[in-house]
Structure 1
Amino acid sequence: MDTTLTDPLVGKLLDGRYRVESRIARGGMATVYLALDIRLDRTVAVKVMHRSLAEDPAFVRRFIGEAKSVASLSHPNVVHVFDQGTDGDNVYLSMEYVPGRTLRDVLRARGRLPAREALEVMIPVLAALGAAHQAGLVHRDVKPENVLLSDDGRVKVVDFGLARAIEATNQTRTGVMIGTIGYMSPEQVTSGATDARSDVYSAGIMLFELLTGRQPYEGDTPMSVAYRHVHDTVPVPSTLLPGTPPLLDTLVAQATARDPATRPADATALLVAAVDAHRMLPRESGPVPSVPVGPPQSPDAAPPPANQTLIQPRVELLTSPVSDAAERAAPRARRGFRPNWFLIALAVVMVVAVGVTGWMFSQTTTVTVPSLVGKNITIAEGEARKLGFLVEVGKAENDEKVPKGNVLRTDPVAGTETEGKTKLVIIASAGPKRVAVPNVVGLDENSARAKLAEVGLVVDDVRKQPSETVPRGQVMRTSPAVGNPVREGSKIDLVKSAGLVMPDIKGMPRDQADAMLRAAGFNPQFVEQTDSAQPCTVIAQDPQPNAEIDKGAVVRLTLSQCNNGEWRWPWEHEGDNGGGGDDKIIIIPNVMFKDVKAAREELRVAGMRVKIKKGPGRGVVLAQIPPGGQQAPPGTEVTLWH
């Protein structure tokens, strides 16, 4: 069934000006139509907001303001906004119509793009975002769906300011995040705060997707994806697509840094880096030779020499062949000998010239190679040419001390005496050699060391960190982070998973020990032993406290006998009144699941002594002995596990 036939706007005249011809697309916030502007007789795209938005006065006010701001933004890579208005329940934008398809359509068809092609899409997108940032506008919803590729090859960004307008609606006041989860920056997820650096983050995610064919994070729910944007570091493209140029790994890593302060300041700064990366990428095919401009040549003519001069001085010959007709028309020479004074004069000149040339070559002229090391390459080249050297600039070489663009060495070296016009080769410094930290996350320590050594990096410090998700012994992260450019030979720190770390649970009742260990990923098994002061209490454990074990490993716990099933605290043996009257009995506060520091302070204020034992709770109390609500005399020791 054709949906355009059932759409009530198709065939209507919107706001007395736009004749709606057909529906182009329908999204979560608006429907886009192809329409004819009957006043200016031009085809436009009309975006009509859904009625739920149009009925919100705050949205309409913000929408009109944003439309005016975007309409003032004139850039070849931005879809132009011509007009905005309302017609009854319809709030609309009139925009430039761009026949073509979205970048999302391209990704669906092709999966991913080659490195150079991905940058050739991103560069105009960043140019559009950069122009908006310089005008004080933030897009807030950068994604492939909002990038249009026209049929004639142009790249256009659409929907500037729409997300900001929607922020004014009642929907956002109920806590709904505005934007597309897969591309949202950490600060956009946590606080809703956005600036130019948020667009930079989204652009970095989009570049990752263009290169790899997928977004960096996937999850069963949008909130799980948002959580990873906040807490995880975006992997570099080479983790999914080995062989990705390190330049692009670095570009993605810089754009998607979790801390906005460490990202490029705006899209223009990222654009500069992207253009530089595109320039340095190897070309997939050889360069197209330039065609010299000049008069047409015959097919058999030899190709012009390299570096030919397109406009050359005319050379007049002393003698030239004369055509047969001219020779026949010329008067016959007179008989008899006449001296040719012109030839005599020419001979004299040639003799003098030969003598002068011989004298010049007999003179020895020496020039000393100047000291150019450390100078700017352009200045050094000029100085050498002034002294008469034939200068050749060689390929730059990496150096840790001489800044990039300054002279590293010359051949011949400074102080060498040369004769006449001598060739002088100048080598510039390319600056310190940088290598991108390779992705070693998920490898064991030995494999990680080997992979780092392949690019000239060495492991410095190896630390362990407990983890419920990363298998024991695998690398969790590096410092500096994966993808960051560092000097060759730099030292890299590794953080690897310690798996689960066995807590000390001796003295804990069976029920609490069982609940805490199972929640942390352990598999506890209990064995009852002889009587003890307290029934059903852990009196021994295997593995011992602080041992590193894998998730799901069996933990064997020895209990005191549980036959009587009741706790007997030491003070309960001293008399019916707890050893000294009702005035010495207090109620132990219940501090379960509270922050351990706050819990300790609460117990101390109540008059208890506190003992803390490390568990898997990361600072939250998971077990308490004696439990809250128990009567006890002041000074009783309360043990907390966290």
Structure 2
Amino acid sequence: MDTTLTDPLLGQTLDGRYRVESRIARGGMASVYLALDVRLDRMVAVKVMHRSLAEDPQFVRRFIGEAKSVASLSHPNVVQVFDQGTDGDHVYLSMEYFPGKTLRDVLRDRGRVPAREALEIMIPVLAALGAAHQAGLIHRDVKPENVLLTDDGRVKVVDFGLARAIEASNQTKSGIMIGTIAYMSPEQVTAGVADVRADVYAAGIVLYELLTGRQPYEGESPMSVAYRHVHDSVPAPSLLAPETPAALDALVLSATSKDPDQRPADAAAMLVAAVEAHRGLARATGPHTSPVLPGPAQHTTVQPAFDPSSFDAGPRAKRNLRPVWFIAALALVMVAGIAFSGWYFSQERYLKVPDLVKQNVKLAEEQARKLGFQVKIGEARFDGKVGKDIVLETQPARGQEVEKGSVLTIIASAGPEMAVVPKVENLSEADARLKVTEAGLTVSRVRKTASDKIDRGLAVRTDPVVGKRVRKGSSVVLVISVGLLTPDVTGMMRDQAQQFLAEKGYPTDCVNEVTDDTAPGTVIAQEPPGGAEMEPTTKICMTVSKGPDQPFWPWERDPSIAQPDFVTVPDVRFKDINDARKELQAAGFQVRVREVVGGRRVISQNPVGQVPQGTRITLWH
């Protein structure tokens, strides 16, 4: 599914700093986005809390406090928090961004992993947790989804402090259980409390899953899994994976003891045990290179030991000394040559051009450099369908094999080509159309308007307005003057109509009063009529109602008619027409709008004063 159609954050800039490029992941509590920090010109990961959390003041306060604590935690295996903030109803963290996959992805793709590889993943995880525990921080949600294996071979732990912030919010009262059931310690399930030993328990479960390819407890519902955490003991991994060394069985069983006091005191203590177990495996099986973690190849050279005490330095030996050393030197040269040849031909001399199309150009450049390319950013190209700074193509194209270190040229989109709406005021319609066309735009339609400043047949303005930057090829509306037309003031109150005409420079002394059923003071006719062509000196004669011969209100004429409640009409003259309409509607009135001069301000309203509730009010602008 195209997230650009469903995620309103894409393309937005949070806090005026983080331009959201794409969504990386979405979870139950937050979504993670790839964003460009426009201030420091670097790619970051931005975690945005879901609105239900952002609307909870208690959560926001705790979230800010936890973010500050995590930001102070500096460790190579912890994803660093750069910044925290709010933008409207968005509460967010900005963090280091590392391309890669989660440990959950590895487990899903590979299933269980060998014992040594499991430890080589867990040791940096425990190092990160140990540093946090020493700083007084508890993770509370250790699980494979929160362990990131980066493309360059590093292990990073994410989401420190988030669970604690949520735990302190009102969300827990609406049924959200903090943490993930499959990795929760018994004391978290029964009492809802967690200390550093809860992280140790979760790390033990993660190690079990790495060794066996599955979680220790499975059930039909989360509650059945929680029950087993409380009442059962985690089985030894070797029951499912017989090749598991006894040291790792012992490490898992110790870390997942139901009694917190029987577990390692914290992650640092479990780290010591894990390192010792890894050393035991190294002694038993010799050198090893882990295939789990991506990164540069590792080469181990084993040389035979040389014992000087075994060498006979007697006369015969001295006579043979030169040939022996010559042969030894020759052997060393041969060994070195073989070793160099093996190393040389084992290196990746050729690279396949990756697919960088549709990625942000900064991210694409970073990825290409990590793969071993020299990168050149070519001249951007206008594109009406692809957003600015998104890769359109690479040269060479994706899939081609080139020598390592070759130049890869990245061509990005400059976005749609823009044009500036030209000034057409006082041009003839033909000349105005020509000027719009020369600017790379088209005239979609022509609209007529009255004007006391622009002669008939000449351009008044465009829509969009002059100077606005729009996509090249866009259409504009051309507004042409029909000259001076008589303003229509019928329906206005007499004093408002005279004030309006006087401001426009028209004589206002021609007024005839007649008996009429309309409210007293209402303009019921005018000469010349509204919309007629006129000169600036033309006199407009108004016919004004004196009111009816009998009482105006029907209940005054017929006692059987109930008198309604009267309310005062708010005076909305000179306010914005939309604001005025909303204000009157909110007060319970019907609203009718009439355009006289085409401005945004209300120049007249009728009726005014006290009227029955629900009366229709006419506004002129």
Instruction: Classify the TM-score, shorter chain.
Output: 0.3 to 0.5
Alignment TM-score, normalising by the size of structure 1: 0.45
